Amino acid sequence: MSLKNAILVLLEGKPGTGYDLAQRFRGGIGQFWSASHQQIYQELKALGQDGLVEFELQEQASRPDRKHYRITAEGRAALKAWLEGPWKPERISSAILLRLYAANLADSAPVLEELDRNLAQFRDKLAEYLQQESSHLARSGRSSLRQALVYVSLRFGIRNLQSWIMLLAEVRALLTQGRVPERPALDELGPAGGAGRP
Amino acid sequence: MSLKNAILVLLEGKPGTGYDLAQRFRGGIGQFWSASHQQIYQELKALGQDGLVEFELQEQASRPDRKHYRITAEGRAALKAWLEGPWKPERISSAILLRLYAANLADSAPVLEELDRNLAQFRDKLAEYLQQESSHLARSGRSSLRQALVYVSLRFGIRNLQSWIMLLAEVRALLTQGRVPERPALDELGPAGGAGRP
DNA sequence: GGATCATATGCAACATATTGCATATCAGTC
DNA sequence: GACTGATATGCAATATGTTGCATATGATCC
């Protein structure tokens, strides 16, 4: 139901090919929505049949032809209706969280291996986001609603990553030293942080 | 692939009926995994055919008969193997986040309505979790690994809720006053908080 | 007395997502 | 000269999840 809308949001921002969209799903919005290229192409086809998007075929000499999609007026209306519609409660499912929760049932060696790989990845991503945040702060005097929304979403993403890193670090400590650290080890967190302990 | 494992984790903790599991998915573990009863019954059937769980039929006079499931040795082995196996990168998808991100494309009145409903719900849930946290802290001297994992998961859930509440409050301020609040309005957050600004 | 909720399980149809495969070319690396 | 990665699109089979319906009873609310 909402991959459809995710695509419409992206195309509203800027027209592009299915391939472009797949790229964009890996950046920014990837934080809260992503999809494989197979899914995207299928969905674009369906959206086209419903008249919510349209495309222009751009023939290319060497590379395969590209279908350059853009949102239609009808598409914009459908998106607006969805945005203004009721929110359904969301079903969370995270296999990683499940594994951590049940980590006592496994040998810790293999779990720690994966945990460390993920910890490193999360830290890299956090560094990236923090950089984006500071460059946003640098260029912002008075920002539009659009920009402000992008900014608060980014901050949300940062907090989430920090929270994940903290969890992984805590579980790591539990599995290696058998204790919960008093002050979780998170020195490299930078600004835009968490809830602020009273 | 992992509803299967989520069920095994639950049954490992304590045997029960499909109905029981559905209940439990709404509490604690609901934070990171949940499923409808239809899915659960189907999965239990499949797990039974694979020999990972078994059940005992308890006939009841008035109520429908219950199938009391428990995990088998084979089930435990399969779960352990999964827990020690590789972690796949997770695909995030949140329709709510998507809506907030694109909130500039909609009339704010209907968005604010849903936003406020959700804000209230999140705050209620947070209060609940905070209570669970303090009761956990009260009874804990030296805790087992199992208990510690439950505790860090709970804290993770608390941080996430706080982060959501912060986001919703920020978007709310943007839509009503057109600005990002300097210090997000979040006085009722209590302990177990965020990342701690340096 | 009727409505709703909790208990308890399940089928069937449909929607959505994942996995594997297929095609085609250019650029750069080993 | 072979392999990998970026560009660009797509089909088909399978797996997973959602929605609607069906059954049956006791308890509680209004």
Handedness of CA A101, A102, A107, A110 (dihedral sign): negative
Which residue is closest, via its CA, to the C1' of D16? B1
How far apart are the CA of B153 and the nearest CA of chain A, in angstroms? Answer: 7
User: CB A159 to CB B194 under 8 A?
Assistant: yes
Instruction: Write out residues 43-62 of B within 8 Å (CB-CB) of A.
Output: none
pLDDT tens by residue, A31-47: 899 999 999 999 999 99
Q: How far apart are CA B121 and CA B34, in angstroms?
A: 18
pLDDT tens by residue, B137-155: 888 677 899 999 999 999 9
User: CB A2 to CB B98 under 8 A?
Assistant: yes
Tokens, residue B189: 């957050």
- Same-domain status, B102 and B184: yes
How many alpha carbons lie under 13 Å from residue A188 in its C-beta half-sphere?
Answer: 15
Identify whether A185 is part of a domain. no
- Asked if residue B38 keeps its beta carbon closer than 7 A to nucleic acid strand D, the reply is yes
Chain B contact set for A189 (CB, 8 A): 195-196, 198
Identify whether B60 is part of a domain. yes
Identify whether B27 is part of a domain. yes
Is A172 in contact with B123 (CB distance < 8 Å)? no
Q: Considering B63, B84, B105, which residue would you say is the last residue of a domain? A: B84
How many domains does chain B divide into?
Answer: 2
pLDDT score of A65 more than 50: yes
pLDDT tens by residue, A104-138: 999 999 999 999 999 999 999 999 999 999 998 88
- Same-domain status, B79 and B107: no
Identify whether B57 is part of a domain. yes
pLDDT tens by residue, B59-85: 777 777 899 999 999 999 999 999 999
Identify whether A198 is part of a domain. no
Name the residue with higher pLDDT: B60 or A67: A67
Q: Considering A60, A84, A108, which residue would you say is the last residue of a domain? A: A84
Give the pLDDT confidence score for residue B183 in this predicted structure: 59
- Same-domain status, A122 and A68: no
Q: How far apart are CA A197 and CA B195, in angstroms?
A: 9
pLDDT score of A62 more than 90: no
User: Could you list the residue range(s) of the whole structural domain that residue A66 is in?
Assistant: 3-84
- Same-domain status, B108 and B166: yes
- Same-domain status, A80 and A8: yes
Contacting residues for B171 by C-beta, under 8 A, at least 6 apart:
A149, A152, B100, B103, B115
B80: domain CATH number?
1.10.10.10
State the ipTM, two decimals.
0.90
Give the pLDDT confidence score for residue B27 in this predicted structure: 84
Q: Considering B84, B103, B128, which residue would you say is the last residue of a domain? A: B84
Beta bridge mates, B93:
A33
- The separation between the first and the last C-alpha atoms of chain B, rounded to the nearest angstrom, is 41
Distance B37 CA to D20 C1' (A): 14
Average pLDDT over residues A174-193: 65
User: Quick one: what percent of chain B has pLDDT higher than 90?
Assistant: 75
Give the pLDDT confidence score for residue B47 in this predicted structure: 97
- Asked if residue B160 keeps its beta carbon closer than 7 A to nucleic acid strand D, the reply is no
Strands (E), A6-158: 53-58, 66-71
- Same-domain status, B169 and B112: yes
pLDDT score of B14 more than 80: yes
- Same-domain status, B103 and B175: yes
The mean predicted confidence, pLDDT, of chain A is 89
Identify whether A196 is part of a domain. no
Give the pLDDT confidence score for residue A64 in this predicted structure: 73
Give the pLDDT confidence score for residue B140 in this predicted structure: 65
Give the pLDDT confidence score for residue A140 in this predicted structure: 65
Give the pLDDT confidence score for residue A184 in this predicted structure: 53
- Same-domain status, B72 and B109: no
Identify whether A193 is part of a domain. no
- Same-domain status, A31 and A60: yes
The mean predicted confidence, pLDDT, of chain B is 89
pLDDT tens by residue, B16-64: 999 999 999 988 899 899 999 999 999 999 999 999 999 999 877 777 7
DSSP label at A90? Answer: P
